[in-house]
Amino acid sequence: MKSALKNKILFAASECAPFAKVGGLADVIGSLPKALKKIGADVSVILPFYGKIKIEKEKTKVLKEKLSIFFDGEKRFFNLHQSFLENSNVPLILVESEKYFEGDIYLTEDASSEGSEKEAERFFFFSKVAIKTAEILNFSIIHCHDWHTGIIPFLAKKNNLKFKTILTIHNLGYQGIYDSKIANRFLGSEFQNDINCLRIALSGADIITTVSPNYAKEILTPEFGFGLEEKIKKRKKDLFGIINGIDEEQFSPKEDSYIAQKYSEKELDLKKENKKFLQKEYFKKVDLSVPIIGVISRLAEQKGFDLIRDSFERLMKKNIQLIILGKGMKEFEDFFQSKNKEYPGKFFAKIGFDENLAHQIYAGADMFLIPSHFEPCGLGQLIAMKYGTIPIARAVGGLKDTIEHKKTGFLFEKPESQELLNAIKDSLSFYRKEKIWKKIQTEGMKQDFSWQNSAQKYLEIYRDLTRV
Ligand code: GLC
């Protein structure tokens, strides 16, 4: 066995479950470091101490007080608190600053950050604090995630700082683009043109990773590259696609305390109790022969809610029940909310976050729908498969890497509502063949979606980077 990695690694990100979560980014930051720790990496996470984060007093202690950086033309102070990732001994460093981290994570309704000067200020400040922290506490690698921490690799390279940087792209659709005046004011820099945080990170980072092998290929093309494909191509030899895992302890139908009835792949019949529960509770209509399709997602364009909306009336003609949980763009929230009244017994949408209901859907639904336009990895399909809930998904990004058509789920090619309907139709005909259906369910439940293999790949990267 190889010796433990001696170097200290700092994860820098805007989200970390369960403390601050909007999407899958949070799940990764909340779970990958634990898997890395298990295989010998000395890893910590740094996160803004957003006003809305609630941690019991006894779970945090002050690590450093009255530290400062030069920012927005002045010396600005902050404190570091230390806690731990949930159920682990992975240090979580929380940056406290009333001025910069009040309230929620993102300050725009759809988390797109577009044009929000406040958000630029917030994440520029956080990134500079992460650099300072790495210096004080002797980290050798900062592992940055998405545009929010994009100026870290840039500044590290420009100023010849002594730690290495990795950029992991979780979503190329968000790049953090700001007027040069904004950046220059906060950073004291001299940008002539707009600054694009993801673009500059792509130049500065020593290594670039993204969250599935297929997405790593897709982002080299104009269709998925969001204008950065040429830039990424130049870094192709430093680009790796590493598939995300899930915390298999947190998502296990055998041990899930949120669900009505626990079960395993050997007692699949028990899953029906969860379906009954879902039907009774949310549809007020129990009929086990009617398949339930579940959706749990940010209500964003990326996730294909336009396709669900456009096929909605046709979907409602089918003998199914549909349940949607999530929040995001107002246009989708309003649309689905309004359908609640129109289709009682057939459709139910809950706008918001609800951990309880999320687990109940994973356990109680028959199918899980993810019609994304693009999907760097996708975690919902992995969780659904673990619960014997069969994914129906578009064949893109990580969905294509993790779902096998008609073996563990159903895939469709084009982002069109007719294709979506055909895939659902296909799945319904399989649903009626109980034996085959069970086989698909069992096959999915048996897959290894743990972090183990992927954590090993990250560890290799850290090792290579710090080899002298
Ligand atoms: C983003 C991506 C999603 C990925 C997640 C975690 O939310 O859209 O596909 O699974 O990040 O990497």
Q: Determine if ligand 1 sits within 6 Å of the CB of residue 15.
A: no
CA of 382 to the centre of ligand 1 (A): 12
Nearest atom in ligand 1 to 298's CA? 7
Q: Determine if ligand 1 sits within 6 Å of the CB of residue 10.
A: no
Q: Write the Ramachandran bin of 333: left for phi over 0, alpha for psi from -120 to 50, otherwise beta.
A: alpha
The tokens describing 172, both together, are 């190329």
CA of 56 to the centre of ligand 1 (A): 29
Nearest atom in ligand 1 to 211's CA? 12
Q: Is the peptide bond before 391 cis (omega within 30 degrees of 0)?
A: no
Bridge partners, 322 (sequence order)? 293, 347
Q: How far is CA 389 from the centre of its chain?
A: 20
> What are the two backbone dihedrals, phi and then psi, of residue 62, each rounded to the nearest 5 degrees?
-75, 130
CA of 171 to the centre of ligand 1 (A): 6
Bridge partners, 79 (sequence order)? 96
348: part of which helix (H) or strand (E)? strand 347-351
Domains and CATH numbers, the chain: 2-245+452-466 (3.40.50.2000), 265-446 (3.40.50.2000)
Write down the pTM of the prediction.
Answer: 0.95
Q: Determine if ligand 1 sits within 6 Å of the CB of residue 26.
A: no
For 266-279, the pLDDT digits (tens) are: 999 999 999 999 99
CA of 326 to the centre of ligand 1 (A): 15
CA of 374 to the centre of ligand 1 (A): 10
Q: Determine if ligand 1 sits within 6 Å of the CB of residue 170.
A: yes
Give me the tens of pLDDT residue by residue for the chain, a chain 468 residues long: 455 677 999 999 999 999 999 999 999 999 999 999 999 999 999 999 999 999 988 899 999 999 999 999 999 999 999 999 999 999 999 999 999 999 999 987 666 666 688 999 999 999 999 999 999 999 999 999 999 999 999 999 999 999 999 999 999 999 999 999 999 999 999 999 999 999 999 999 999 999 999 999 999 999 999 999 999 999 999 999 999 999 998 999 999 999 999 999 999 999 999 999 999 999 999 999 999 999 999 999 999 999 999 999 999 999 999 999 999 999 999 999 999 999 999 999 999 989 999 999 999 999 999 999 999 999 999 999 999 999 999 999 999 999 999 999 999 999 999 999 999 999 999 999 999 999 999 999 999 999 999 999 999 999 999 986
For 355-392, the pLDDT digits (tens) are: 999 999 999 999 999 999 999 999 999 999 999 999 99
Q: Determine if ligand 1 sits within 6 Å of the CB of residue 384.
A: no
Q: Whose CA is nearest to atom 10 of ligand 1?
A: 378
CA of 207 to the centre of ligand 1 (A): 19
